[in-house]
Amino acid sequence: MASHRKSRPTGTRVAGIRTPALATAALTSVALLSQSAQAAPAADGRPSLEEVEKKVDDLYRQAESATEKYNAAKEKTTKQRKQVDTLLDDVAKRTQKLNEERERLGTFAAAQYRTGAAAPDTATFLLADSPQDYFDQTQLMGRMTSRQKSAVDDYFTEQSATMKKRQEASRNLHTLTETQSDLQTAKSTVPKKLSDARELLSKLNAEQKARLAAIQKKKEQEAARKAAELAKQQAAAEQKPKEEAGAKSGSSSNSGSSASTGSSYDAKAAKVLAFARAQVGKPYVWGATGPGSYDCSGLTQAAWKAAGVSLPRTTYDQVNAGTTVSLADARPGDLIFFYDDISHVGIYIGNGMMIHAPKPGAYVREESVYYAGSSIIHSVVRPA
């Protein structure tokens, strides 16, 4: 199992779309077979079956990774747009107040002019950087009433605050523009990767497709074998504490607290699994959060929401939303993350199996946690 890295990968990520029926089990993540090292291109220069298989796998992996980048960029864009809207509203209100303060000063200036007092020079007033600067330049300090001085001070205070808000809004608008660019890049990446994968598969003949199906079947059998081994290990690990607890019944006050905590988690996990099982058969659609379709992190977020727990939107954030445990200690309801870039996640259901939305072109299903090998398992996280 890979080390439990917690750092968030750089870059952005895209959401996926469904592929047509051509994206069958042959598209499932596949590592090169042992004999692929010796596989050579066909005599006509076309890539070998193993090369096509690996290329298709890579393209679908890139599409799924792009999906999570899209999700992250979309979430970030939504938050930034709200911030910009709030700032622009604030700037508008402050500008209105600034105009009102300016009108107040105009009223005072007109009154001074009518009474014969020296009226402030408009240009001097507008170029002043502060109330004191204004007073010094016009030499009106001694002739202004406290009310007039307060009005001038209010004007410059509001002017300074308005300028700061305008600058902040400008910076946020620039950041929003960059994030929207990332979003569009990610959005265009997924269809391109999927199109490339379909093009490669379209060049396979019936015999090659049959061979790919046979390869996939063998991989599924191996994944099931490993899942059964994990189930036995976990069953043995669970039995040992029970036997020890039986021998020391009631001797430790901590055991009651631990049991209570476990019972609370199990109750939430039961709701998570019930929800996830009800989604089996629904299509993977990039950026989808239900109820008719999901991507991988959309499914896990919705499942835990059914248990009253709010998870972040993306795999990058979900991996930090709980306690990391070992795969051997995984319990139903835990989240299992895959790949170094943490771009895929599934819900552990026990016995070495999970429910997940695998990839574009596939459907929510139960599958071994070793569906694409053991080396891609990144970490296991317990959300609550």
Q: In this structure, which amino acid lies at residue 355?
A: I
For residue 41, cis peptide bond before it (omega within 30 degrees of 0): no
356 is a catalytic site residue: yes
- Kindly give, in sequence order, each residue whose CB lies less than 8 Å from that of residue 255, ignoring residues fewer than 6 positions away: 245, 248
Strand partners, 336: 346, 380
Residue in 4, 174, 356, 378 annotated catalytic: 356
Annotated catalytic residue 4: no
Contact 298, 289 (CB under 8 A): yes
Q: How far is CA 10 from CA 4, 69, 73, 176, in A?
A: 17, 9, 12, 18
Can you tell me the distance from the alpha carbon of 176 to that of 76, in angstroms, rounded to the nearest whole number?
A: 9
Residues 129, 130, 134, 139, CA torsion sign: negative
Helix axes 49-114, 296-305, angle to 10 degrees: 70
Strands 377-382 and 365-368: what pairing?
unpaired
Catalytic residue selected from 4, 174, 344, 378? 344
Q: Of these residues, 4, 174, 296, 378, which one is catalytic?
A: 296
Q: Give 19-88 as a 3 state SS string.
A: CCCCCCHHHCCCCCCHHHHHCCCCCCCCCCHHHHHHHHHHHHHHHHHHHHHHHHHHHHHHHHHHHHHHHH
Q: How many CB atoms lie within 10 A of CB 229?
A: 12
The pairs formed by 88-96 with CB atoms below 8 angstroms and a separation of 24 or more are 88/169, 90/165, 91/162, 91/165, 91/166, 91/169, 94/158, 94/161, 94/162, 94/165, 95/162
Residue numbers annotated as active site = 296, 344, 356
